[in-house]
Amino acid sequence: MSCMLSPDQKLEFAAGFRHRLEQKIELPPLPEVACELLFLRDDTKGDVMHLSAVIERDPSIAAQMLAYARLSVFGYGDRIKSLERAVQLVLGYEKALHMAIGLSAGKSLKMQADGPVGRRSYWKHSLHTAMLTQALASALPLEQRPQPGISYLAGLLHDIGYLLFGHLYPEEFAMHNQLISNHPERNVRELELIGFGISHDVIGLWLMQAWDMPEEIVVAVGEHYFSDYDGKHAIYPKLVALANQLLKIHANNSSMASNKESVLINPLGLDNERMMRAVDRVLEVVPQLDAMARELAA
């Protein structure tokens, strides 16, 4: 298989990657806006006006959140004239805060634009997954329902390991994109381990820990490939795993009733009707989400 490192190179690459993360060598700091938002997350006196003021310090993030609040599925459109109104009428304080954290965190990392896991594909998939993860969370029975903002952020950042991979190791990341292109029939995570001895979920886990991100997000990023994970905050990786699987099934136009699907659905208590309503809600606004993704990837 081409575009692979040798066994010794794989060991050296994975060890070097982990060392850079643990020692925070050349690791971009979490943007100031994201740091302030994480502080605000623990501030019991935080309000919509303060939150909006912090977000508006980064006009590009504010613009993305306005675009989201104006999605046709919410019914407000251009009547949303300000970020404050977007938070009050559509997003809610908790979801707006976590959405802004995710958008700010992702902006600090740069990688190649094209390729199966390049920047354009990354943001498109992340926005789709974020919205579906939150929609699935909202479809759960009330007693199981997690925070909508954390659910959205889990979906938005679940693949952030790709961003760091491409940011720190552009040549190897280009090789990885080529490897995926050459073997579209293979599982992407398996190709990462075969080709480089490390996977994007592990990279993302280390990054979330280095950035002191909320524990729920650390777990979601690190465990989203393992739907049988039953530890603390297991609801978030299960939701992300289900969202990923549903998006893949839709993209392949295949059946919704696979055995793997049932393994994910049953522990969450979701029936097909609730699940499909969540999927339809996201599919309704895919063109608008894709326009947002193009802005983020520009």
CA distance 71 to 73: 5
Could you tell me the domains of the chain? 7-27+110-297 (1.10.3210.10), 29-108 (no CATH)
Taking a C-beta distance cutoff of 8 angstroms, is the pair 255, 249 a contact?
yes
How many H helices and E strands in the chain?
17, 0
Output the CA torsion sign for 79, 82, 87, 88. Answer: negative
pLDDT in tens, 115-154: 999 999 999 999 999 999 999 999 998 888 999 999 999 9
Q: How far is CA 288 from the centre of its chain?
A: 17
The DSSP line for 71-88 is: -GGGS-GGG--SHHHHII
pLDDT in tens, 20-40: 888 877 788 889 999 999 999
**Cα radius of gyration rounded to whole Å, the chain:** 19
Give me the residue label for tokens 């760091």. Answer: 164
Q: Apex CA 296: angle with CA 124 and CA 92, to 5°?
A: 85
CA nearest neighbour of 119 among 287, 288, 293: 293
CA distance 234 to 232: 5
> What pLDDT does residue 21 have?
80
Indicate the angle between helix axes 93-107 and 286-297, nearest 10 degrees: 40
CA distance 298 to 293: 9
Q: Using the predicted structure, report yes or no on whether residue 1 has a pLDDT greater than 80.
A: no
**pTM, rounded to two decimals:** 0.92
> What pLDDT does residue 261 have?
52
> What pLDDT does residue 266 have?
60
CA distance 191 to 113: 20
Distances from the Cα of 18 to the Cαs of 13, 122, 206, in angstroms? 9, 22, 8
Residue 159 DSSP SS3: coil
CA distance 106 to 48: 23
> What pLDDT does residue 42 have?
84
